[in-house]
């Protein structure tokens, strides 16, 4: 009876003993250094949410739910944005995070948009539709590989080529805005879908050398240095919230066109100011 009474007064003794032994084992394995949660764990969580959203988008597209599938891609882009912001805020940038982000992006912004394009827009275009619908995945993989090879650990305020999340979001905005309209479905008797040139252009921009702005870390210093860009970001956010798919289409169109226009103007200025070499004497 005394033994039973003694056990009853110490509930969870075995569990506490097991935890102490487990802690002792961990300390012995790490040489007495207590492990801390790495800084990269915070942005990596949002990266995994990005990946999971892309997976759910494929499932919804398979079940025939277009709107759910498309908005899940937009949600994945939002998680990708948070991933980058958290990496800058916590200073948690790492090679592991870069590789994990690329793996998540190729699913959420490459494979998932390609599947959605084929199911809801290009299935009836035959072999051409099959090939074109695969371009987001193919060009996205090339875009991510090029970024990883050239990444030196320093975050810049621009991307070389259209970022794959932006390209996928722009494609989803087009599908949301025009799906179900008669003018969009086909153009001409050959069954050429109007989505084909849109997909080709956006995918070509991904592997181009055109510069596109990054989403900066929100800070008082940035707001003071770039008031116009900061206001544009706020206006774009409210356009998407208020106008939904129409606002999303407007925001993504402005983003893509502004990047092309800025690079074109820069090229024209560089050509105009370039000094010609002296002609050889005859």
What CATH code is carried by the domain that includes residue 131? 1.20.120.1760
Residue 49 inside a domain? The answer is yes
User: According to the per-residue pLDDT averaged within each range, which of 3-17, 147-161, 240-254, 262-276 is highest?
Assistant: 240-254
Q: Is residue 6 part of a domain?
A: no
Phi–psi pair at 159, nearest 5 degrees:
-110, 145
262 lies in a domain?
A: no
The H or E element containing residue 270 is helix 245-273
Sign of CA dihedral 148, 149, 155, 160: negative
* pLDDT grade for 187, boundaries at 50, 70 and 90: very low
Whether residue 199 is contained in a domain is answered as: yes
- Check: pTM over 0.85? Answer yes or no: no
Cα 70 from Cα 98, distance rounded (Å): 25
Q: Is residue 145 part of a domain?
A: yes
In terms of Cβ atoms closer than 10 Å to its own Cβ (0-12, 13-18, 19+), residue 275 is exposed
Task: Please give the backbone phi and psi of residue 73, each rounded to the nearest 5 degrees, phi first.
Answer: -65, -40
Half-sphere exposure of residue 233: CA atoms within 13 angstroms, side-chain side = 14
The token duo for 20 is 């102490």
Residue 1 placed within a domain = no
Q: What's the DSSP call for residue 277? A: P
Two tokens, residue 85:
């912001």
User: Is position 250 within any domain?
Assistant: no
* pLDDT in the model for residue 157: 74
Question: 24-83, pLDDT tens digit by residue?
Answer: 666 666 665 555 656 667 788 899 999 999 999 999 999 989 899 999 999 999 999 888
Per-residue pLDDT at 202: 94
pLDDT at 278: 64
Q: Give the chain's domain count.
A: 1
Q: Give me the domain span that covers residue 49.
A: 41-218
The reported pLDDT for the residue numbered 176 is 84
Question: 230 in a domain, yes or no?
Answer: no
Find out whether 238 and 182 touch, Cβ atoms under 8 Å. Answer: no
- Bigger pLDDT: 15 or 43? 43
Spell out the alpha helix ranges (H) of the chain: 2-8, 13-29, 41-62, 66-89, 95-106, 112-117, 126-133, 135-150, 164-178, 182-185, 195-206, 220-225, 227-243, 245-273
Q: Which two tokens stand for residue 150?
A: 């050239």
Average pLDDT in the 116-124 region? 87
> In the prediction, which pLDDT does 275 show?
72
């Amino acid at each position: 009876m005394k033994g039973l009474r003694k056990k009853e007064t110490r509930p969870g003794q075995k569990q506490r003993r097991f935890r102490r032994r487990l802690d002792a084992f961990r300390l012995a394995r790490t040489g007495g250094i207590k492990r801390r949660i790495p800084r990269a764990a915070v942005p990596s969580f949002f990266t995994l949410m990005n990946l999971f959203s892309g997976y759910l988008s494929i499932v919804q597209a398979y079940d025939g739910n277009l709107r759910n599938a498309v908005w899940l891609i937009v949600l994945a882009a939002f998680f990708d944005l948070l991933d980058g912001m958290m990496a800058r805020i916590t200073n948690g940038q790492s090679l592991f995070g870069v590789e994990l982000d690329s793996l998540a992006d190729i699913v959420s912004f490459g494979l998932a948009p390609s599947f959605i394009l084929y199911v809801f827009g290009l299935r009836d275009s035959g072999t051409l539709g099959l090939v074109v619908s695969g371009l987001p995945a193919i060009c996205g993989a090339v875009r991510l590989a090029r970024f990883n090879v050239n990444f030196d650990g320093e975050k810049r305020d621009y991307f070389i080529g259209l970022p794959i999340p932006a390209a996928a979001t722009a494609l989803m905005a087009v599908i949301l805005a025009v799906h179900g309209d008669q003018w969009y479905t086909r153009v001409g008797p050959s069954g050429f879908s109007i989505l084909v040139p849109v997909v080709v252009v956006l995918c070509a921009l991904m592997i181009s050398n055109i510069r596109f702005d990054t989403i900066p870390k929100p800070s008082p210093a940035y707001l003071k240095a770039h008031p116009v860009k900061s206001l544009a970001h706020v206006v774009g956010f409210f356009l998407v919230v208020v106008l939904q798919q129409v606002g999303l289409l407007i925001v993504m169109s402005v983003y893509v066109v502004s990047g092309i226009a800025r690079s074109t103007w820069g090229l024209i200025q560089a050509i105009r100011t370039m000094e010609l070499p002296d002609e050889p004497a005859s």
